[in-house]
Each structure stands twice: as structure tokens, then as C-alpha cells.
Structure 1
Amino acid sequence: MTDSAVILHRVALNAAFIAVGYALRALKILTLEDGKTVFRFATNVTLPALLLYVMTRASAVGASSGLSATVSTVSAIIPACSLLVGVGCSFGAYLAYRKSPARARGLAVGSATGVNLGMFAYPFVEAIWGVPGLALCAMWDAPNAVVVFGAAKAIFAAEQKHGDASRAVHDDGGIYDGEWLDKKKHGYGCYKYPSGATYEGQWKNNVKDGLGVYTYGKGGSYAGEFKRGRFDGTGIRVLRTGAVKAGLWEDNEFVEATTVKDCEGTIAATNAAVSTARKAAEASNLTMKDLFWKVAKFPPVIAVTLASMMNFTGIALPQTASQLVVPLANANNPIVLLTLGVLFKPAMDRMQVQAVAKFIGVKYGLGLLSAAVCTLFIPQSFALARGVIAALCVMPVPSIVMQYSAEHENDGQLAAAIVLSSQAMTLVLICCFAVVAPYIVSIDKFVFSGALLAGAVAVGVASAVGVLALKPSRVDKAKSPGVARSAPQAPLRAALSGGVKLVGL
């Protein structure tokens, strides 16, 4: 197979996996929640296996192929470029989105921080540049992994905390942890009253409004609907004596009795609201120490740390470990691609398409600009490194962004659209690099850098034109929910001998 044939084969295979995932959801064999569950498995099991296998294998391949003398020429430049490109693109994206709402900014900046190497770069770089390219890719990988699994995850968490979730202590001693809007409790949050009573759920304009659970300090509780701070709608009141009042409430008064079973739908939704409120409260209390340990205990970070230590000490992956790791590593790519298909929403509204168009312009404009700068530091005689580094700078958004988006209550469908769109854009650029690769050796590095810079300008201009063309009307803005997130879908807890076990009771 020629280089171009190998690339086209990989493109077709990836597209087939995504199409199968989309078909499974369209046929209702898999649901959106199934997709999220499978992606969590990939993030915490198959991705760490892939990182461990690829990083140790690529390092061993480079060492065993007699490339050490050649690679040592750029041994310090490539890791430095990897780290600087990751940080630089993150800062550039922040400047581009600095006036956006917190969660929109978190999604954009976090997605622009680092690139997808394990699933994307390694196979395509190896197809175009062979083993030498693979060795250079491995040198880029460790700093990039720190950026993707450390900095990007921290960005999502920080934007969630600093955007609209924080703690307030009232003069009477009451403590609120949760979301705000215009300096008012609004969204999801938890409140602890001086009396010992607590409320977990939805807020609107500083009062309890929506779904939630109020627990009295001396025992007893109410779970269900609130309006203007009072019990109003369907709900269940559990008294200190154990007696239960299930039914309709108006202005704190019990007006119509129903069965507990009739309230199950409301209680299930209330449990989901409480779960979201607790997450918002947790985000408001997140300290730098908590954030550090949260990142440090992340399975992909553990895998990268272990692989880096093994490479540094020259320890190979034991045979027994390889037999466990290799099948899991091989499963990562199809699992992630199938999940992308399950989560993909082809019918995006005008505002979402505009958001994707802007992001593609920002990410690839910054990526090509970074490539133009980095390649200037590569010796003229090492043309291979110029091509590989330029390609690595424009690799797609890491698929793990979808997991970060889910963890930090962001727009999961927009995250999936950004990941897929960036993969399509990278495939176009990879095809261009495959065509140019044989001629890079004869191209002056300043000319090559200038061509990359021109590409960055072209992408930026095309994106700006697209964003203007997609400018939403007032009707579109009214219809679109914007960059919001849905409450987690929590199941109804358990029915206990004709009753319902409620969150917080």
C-alpha cells in the first residue's frame, strides 16, 4: 500500500466505526446514556492501557532502530515545543474566548489544550514517515500528555468553579454552595441553615424554585416541587413520626392526597436535581490541593507517569503485563469511535454550527501558527522533523474532552461535534502533509514556515467569514439553549415496602 492508500484506508475505517455507532443509537439499540457510560470505561480502562503501551513501545522502537544519533539532534527541542505549543494554544484560545460565558470558555480553551496522539497521530505519522517519525512522535507525547490530562482537565474544573459556582456565608450563619446569576442564587445549589436544616436542589432569583429536597433540622423532610420558596406542586412530606403525605401541595399546604407511586416521576427528577446540586456544591469548594489530587489520581495521568518512569529507567513492559495491556489498547480506538457516533448529533442548530466554525478557526489557526514557529528551530538538514512537528501541531482535539465535558456539566453534544469536526479537519491537513512529505527536504525551512503561516491566516479568515455568515437571528437565539448542560439522569432510588427512599432522607 502507498502512503496515500494507507491514509485513505484508515479514514474509511474510522468513518465506518462512527457510522455504526450512530446507527446503533438511531435504531435505539444504544442510548445517549449508554454512550456516556462506555466512554467512561474507555477513559478509565482502555485509554490508560493505550498510553502505557504506545509510549513504551514507541520509545523502544526509536532506541532499537539505530535512530538515537539522529533523534538526539532535536531531543531537547521537540519536548520543549510540545509543552510550549500546548500552553501557547491554551492561552491563545483563552484570549479568543475571554468574553464568553464560563462554561463555553472552559469547553473551548480545554479543547484547544493539547492534541490527540495515541489514537490519531501515531498511525498516521507512522504511515507517512515510518519508524523515525514514530520515534519523534514519542518524544512529543510525554509533555502533551501532561497538558491534556493535567492542564486541560484543570481548565474544565477551574472554569466550572470560577464561572458560576461559589460559596457564600450569610450573616445569620447560613452557608450556600452552588450556582449564581447576577449575584443571586440561581441554578443548582445546597444551603445549610443555622437551625441544621438543609436544602438541596434548584434555585431561582435567590429562592427555592423547581425540584429539591428540604430536610428539617429535627427530622422529617419534603421532596418534590417548590415555587417561590414554598412547597408547591407534586411532593412527598415525611414527618418525624414516619408518617408520609404524598400528593399535591399549594403554598406549603397539603391539598390533595395521591399514592407514592403517582409521585415516582417527580421523585426521580428530584433525585437528579439533588445530584446536580451536590456537584455544583462540590465545584464551589474545590481547592488547588483538591484539584491537584483529582488530576493526579486520574487513570490516564497514572499511565503516562508510569510509562515515563519506565522509559527513563529503561525498564520494558513485562510480558505478563503486555498480555493484559495490548488487547485493551487495541480496543480503545474502535470503542471511542463507536461512542463518538452514539453521541453525535448531526442536526445542530445555527448557533452550535457557528460555535464549531469559530472553534475550528481558533484551534487550527493557532496550530498552524505554532507549527510555523516551531519548524524554524529545526535544522535545515533534518527535514523529517519539520514535517512531523508541523503535523503534530494540527492533530485533533483529544477525545477525552467529551469525558471532561460530562464531568463538569458542559454541553456534551457540542463537545462531540467539536471532536468530530476537528478530526475531519486534521484528516484534510494530514492528506496535504502526505503529498508534501517527499519534497520537504528540498524546501527551505523559512519557505516552509511561511507556507504554514499563510495556512494559519487562511484558516482564520475562512472561520471568520463562516462565523459572520452563521450569525443567528433573534429567533435562533430564542430557540437555542446556548452552552448549557442537562441535569444528570438519576434513576428513582428504590421502592421500599410501598414507599420511596428519597435522596437526603
Structure 2
Amino acid sequence: MESSAGSRVAYALAYIVLGFFLKEMGIFKSEDGESLLRIIFTVTLPAVLMKTFVSVTFNASSVTIMSIALCHSVIALGVGWLLFRNLEKRDAALLAGSSVGVNLGLFVYPFAEAIWGLEGLIAAVTFDLANQWSILLTSYAMFRQIALGGEGGLSGLARTTFKRIISTPCLLAVYAALFLQVTKLPLPGVVDNLLTPLATANKPVALLALGIMLNLNIRREQRQGLICLLGARYGVALGLAGLLALFFPAALPPNLYAPVLVAICAPVPLLSVQYAVEFACNSGVAAAACNLTNVLSFGLLVAVSTCVPAYGVGVMGIPMLASSALCFIGVRLTLPRISGSLKPSGSPEAHRFSSSSPAFLADQKAIKWSEYGAARYLWKAEE
């Protein structure tokens, strides 16, 4: 089992390496990742969600996974707010808002399917039920309310959020699948035949996109912000994962527990970059965090996929809790030096606008509400 998991990780990594070297050889440009993400988030990933949800049997394990995801979101929200609330408002918005939510569609889904098969993918998709709302609602609300000082009120936030939850392709696929579940209707054969190859294509396309998007060019002035953001994120994630592994090792079967632990420790969602751009935060830090956490989370994935089959879930508890403590120590040491150091490039006046100003309204129209829309900033945010 251990060697099998290792070989599956190696095969998945090969796709990422292939994408990275194709970009380095000039065959692909970094901007080509946007086209791949457009395909993933509007075609292949909704197909995966639709195919997976229509076959899901909701049981005690499903409730446990969704409860863990909800706990993770609530804890991340609280810790992010407590740690960063006293910073300059756009610094606080960036760090607190980016502390919430994880990137499952582009990172965990393909790895979970490659390593743990359909059961692993179902566990990741179930976790994503709560996670999607964390990204679309909680993270966005943190960015908006903190960066704008509450300007615009809750009505503006509600209108914007409602538009997104009724137009996001992945959520539309979930709604359709849940409708079939509730009505106990089968997926039409024609639709099933159409979705099957698209869902199958998601794994290699997503892994190739990760390789093409990979960029670890981190500037010196971004380091303090990254230490605080990553320390808070992984401090919460490793702490929760460690507590679960140490005190509740039998809460889930091992083949479901491992992908859930990986999901808890997944990378920063791409929408954090888009939110940072919209609210005039330092999008370079957000972009660097997305790229760097892909690497760090991959290391955690290798550890979980190797150790859990060989030694059981409980063995991960103490190392994860110790790592969590180190993360928070890093945040504690770095936080006093961060105030004002994350200002975006350009004139400060260019970023001082309220939710009712023409500049903000123009920005609202210019920004597309989807994760692939953030890709264009991953490579240009630091320029």
C-alpha cells in the first residue's frame, strides 16, 4: 500500500514537472495557465462534481467530513481576525481574508483521485461543500469589510455574493447533482456519456496547470507578510489536523481520513489573489502565497499519503501539533514588524477609494468572479 501510494504521488508529480518544464522551454507561457484554468473551472471540474455527487451516499462519514470542514473555516476565520485585526486595514484584509478557504479543485481533487481513487475524491468533494462557501462568502466578506472599513454595508455584500453563488459553474453543478439526489432521479445517459471523458480529463489538466503556474520568485519585501500568512494558515490547519489525528483517529476510515487531512492543509485559494486586486491589497503577496503553498502542501501530502497507510492516522498527531506551534511562534515573532510593509506598488491615493466611488464600481465591472480570472495576476502581480 505504501509503495502504491508513493508511485501514485510520483505519477501525479510528473504531470506538474512536465507543465513546469514546458513553460521553462517556452512552449507554454505563464499566461496560458489562465486558459487551462478557464477550462478546468467551467468544464472539467463541474463535470467531476456532477459525476461525483450523483453517486455519493450521504452517511455518518459525510457528516463528519463536512463538520471538520466547517470547524476549519470557523477557526481560520477567528484566528485570522484575532491575529491581524490591529494592522493597517489593507494589510489586515489581505492576511485575514487569505487565511480562510483552501484550494481543493486545482490541488486536492487531482491528487486525491490519483492516490486514493474514487473514495478519496468523494471525501475531497464532500469537504468542499463547506469550503466553497468559506471562499465565496467568508473570505470575500473579510476582504471587503476590513479593507473598506465597512463601507457599502451588508446589502452591497449580499447582492454581490448572491450573483456569484447563482452563476459559478462549480456551484451550479453541485445544485444540479443535489437536485438529482433529492428527487432520486438518475443522471440521463446522454449527460453521463458527455460528462465522463470531461471528468476524466480534469486530473491531468489540473496537474499540468499547476506546473505551468508554478512561480517561486519571492521578493524580500514580501517575506514578512508571507511568514505571517502561511504561519497563520498552517498553524490552524496543522493544529486541527493534529488534534483530529491524536484524539479522534477512528472518526473516519483511513482511506477517507488521509484526503481530509490533506484538504485541511491545502494551498491558498486563487480567489485570494483576485480579492487582493479588487480591494487594493498587495496582490504580489497573495500570488506568492498561492504558489508557495502549492509546494508546502505537496510536502504535507507526501507525508500523509506515506505515513497513514504504513503507521495509521494517530502517528501524524504529535508532529502536526508541534509544527503548528512553530508556525504560530513564527507569526508572533514576525507580526510586530509587518505594519505598513505590505502596501501595494503605485501611488497610495490610487488605492484609497470607497465602495461607492467610480473607481471601485469600475473595478467591480472589470473583475470576473471566478478562480480562473485570478490567474492573470499570479505572474503579473509583482511587476
Same fold (TM over 0.5): yes
Structure with larger RCO (C-alpha < 8 A, sep 6+): 2
TM superposition shift of 1:2: 2.9
SS at match of 2:260: helix
* Residue 178 (structure 2) pairs with residue 308 (structure 1): yes
1:455 alignment partner AA: S
Task: Give me the whole-angstrom Cα distance separating, in 2, the residues matched to 1:136 and 1:478.
Answer: 37
Deviation by residue 1:281-339 (Cα, 9 ceiling, x = unmatched):
xx689624423423334414434433433444444554544566567664662685377
Q: Which residue of 1 aligns with 2:61?
A: 74
Q: Give the aligned residue type for 1:93.
A: G
Identity %: 21
Matched, 1:155 2:142: yes
User: For 1:237-316, what aligned pairs fall within 5 Å after superposition?
Assistant: 287-299=156-168, 300-316=170-186
Structure 2 match to 1:146: 133
Distance change (3 Å), C-alpha of 1:479 and 1:140? closer
Check 1:55–1:357 CA distance in 2 against 1; reply closer, same or farther (3 A cut): same
Per the alignment, residue 10 of structure 2 pairs with 8
Match of 2:276 in 1: 405
Alpha-carbon distance between aligned partners in 1 of 2:347 and 2:45, rounded to the nearest angstrom: 31
Deviates more, 1:128-137 or 1:479-488: 479-488
1:136/1:385 contact within 8 Å kept: yes
Cα distance in 2 for residues equivalent to 1:81 and 1:325: 29
- Which residue, out of 93, 109, 124, partners 2:96? 109
Deviation readout 1:48-70 (Å, 9 max, x if unpaired): 4344222233345555xxxx8xx
2:287 matches 1:416: yes
Q: Are the equivalent residues in 2 in contact too, given 1:411–1:483 (CA < 8 A)?
A: no
| Corresponding position: 1:52 with 2:39 | no
Structure 2 alignment gaps of length 5 or more: 352-358, 364-383
| SS across alignment from 2:269 | coil
Paired residue type of 2:176: L
- Give the C-alpha shift of residue 463 in structure 1: 5.8
1:362 matched to 2:349: no
Change (3 A) 1:16 1:461: farther
Tell me by how many angstroms 1:423 deviates.
0.7
Q: 1:457 to 1:478 in 2, by over 3 A?
A: closer
- In the alignment, structure 1 segments of 5+ residues that lack a partner are 167-282, 490-505
Pick one of 97, 107, 129 that aligns with 2:116.
Answer: 129
Identify if the C-alpha distance between structure 1 residues 30 and 310 changes in structure 2 by more than 3 Å, giving closer, same or farther: same
Question: 2:326 aligns to what?
Answer: 458
CA–CA distance in 2 between the matches of 1:82 and 1:421? 22
Q: Aligned AA for 1:85? A: H
Q: TM-score, normalised by structure 1?
A: 0.57
Higher normalized helix content (fraction of residues): 2
Conserved? CA contact 2:136–2:161, under 8 Å: no
User: Measured at CA, do residues 315 and 50 of structure 1 come closer, stay the same or move farther in structure 2, by a change above 3 Å?
Assistant: farther
Letter in 2 for 1:367: A
Structure 1 CA distance for aligned equivalents of residues 347 and 302 of structure 2: 33
Q: Aligned-pair RMSD on alpha carbons?
A: 4.2
Label 1:114 to 1:430 Cα distance change in 2 as closer, same or farther (>3 A). Answer: same
2:117 aligned counterpart, secondary structure: helix
Point out the structure with max Rg over C-alpha. 1
| Alpha-carbon offset, residue 451 of structure 1 | 3.6
1:482 Cα deviation after fit: 9.3
2:72 equivalent to 1:85: yes
Post-superposition offset of 1:390 = 2.0
Corresponding residue number in structure 1 for 2:366: none
Confirm or deny: 8 A CA contact 2:8 2:114 kept in the other structure.
Answer: yes
Q: For 1:74-130, what per-residue CA distance to the aligned partner results, in whole angstroms no more than 9, with x for missing partners?
A: 232211111121122122112221122333322222322121222221232234433
Task: Determine if contact 2:51/2:195 at 8 Å carries over to the other structure.
Answer: no
Instruction: Please tell me the residue identity of whatever aligns with 2:61.
Output: V
Q: Secondary structure at the match of 1:409?
A: coil
Q: Deviations over 1:195-239 (max 9, x none)?
A: xxxxxxxxxxxxxxxxxxxxxxxxxxxxxxxxxxxxxxxxxxxxx
Structure (1/2) with the larger strand percentage = 1
Cα deviation code 1:362-381 (max 9, x no counterpart)? 11110011213344345368
Which residue of 267, 280, 304 corresponds with 1:433? 304
1:453, distance to aligned residue in structure 2 (A)? 1.5
Q: Secondary structure at the match of 2:98?
A: helix
Q: For residue 110 of structure 2, what is the amino acid of its counterpart?
A: P
Measured in 1, the distance between the counterparts of 2:139 and 2:17 equals 26
CA, structure 1 residues 463+289, in 2 after alignment: closer, same or farther (shift >3 Å)? closer
In the alignment, what sits opposite 2:317?
449
